[in-house]
Amino acid sequence: MKARTKNVRNYLFFLFCLLSALMLGVVLFCIVLFIGKTGLLVFKDVSVMEFFFSTKWEPYDGKYGAAIFILGTLSLTALTMCFAVPLSLALAVFIVEVAPNWVKKILRPMLDLLVGIPSIIYGYLGLTLLIPLLRNITGSIMGDGLLAASLVLTVMVLPTITRISDDAITAVPKDLCEAAYALGSTRFQAVFRVILPAARPGILTATVLGMARAIGETMAVVMVIGNTAQIPGDLLTPTAVLTSNIVMQIIDVQFDSTWNYALYMMAFLLLIISTLMILIIRRIRGKGE
Q: Which amino acid is at 231?
A: I
Say how many C-beta atoms besides its own lie within 10 A of residue 45's C-beta. 14
Is 63 found in the same domain as 17? no
If asked whether residues 123 and 175 sit together in one domain, one would say: yes
SS3 62: coil
Q: How far is CA 72 from CA 59, 60, 254, in A?
A: 19, 22, 25
Q: What is the CATH number of the domain that holds 158?
A: 1.10.3720.10
The confidence score (pLDDT) of residue 162 equals 92
Structural domains of the chain, count? 2
* More confident call, 281 vs 13: 13
> Are 62 and 196 within one domain?
yes
CA distances from 138 to 144, 149, 165, 180 (A): 12, 16, 34, 46
Q: Which domain holds residue 280?
A: 48-288
Same domain, 201 and 59: yes
Stretch among 27-36, 217-226, 237-246, 276-285 having the lowest mean pLDDT: 276-285
Greatest Cα pair distance in the chain = 81
Q: What is the mean pLDDT of the chain?
A: 86
Task: Identify which of 215, 222, 223 has the alpha carbon closest to the alpha carbon of residue 267.
Answer: 215
Residues 110, 14 within the same domain: no
Kindly state whether residues 95 and 202 are assigned to the same domain: yes
Render pLDDT for 74-125 as a digit per residue (tens, 0 to 9): 899 999 999 999 999 999 999 988 888 888 888 888 888 888 888 889 989 9
Same domain, 117 and 224: yes
Residues 282, 167 share a domain? yes
The whole-angstrom separation of Cα 172 and Cα 203 is 12
Q: Side chain identity at 140, as an amino acid letter?
A: S
Q: DSSP readout, 226-237?
A: B---S--SSTTS
Residues 18 and 62 in one domain: no
Same domain, 81 and 184: yes
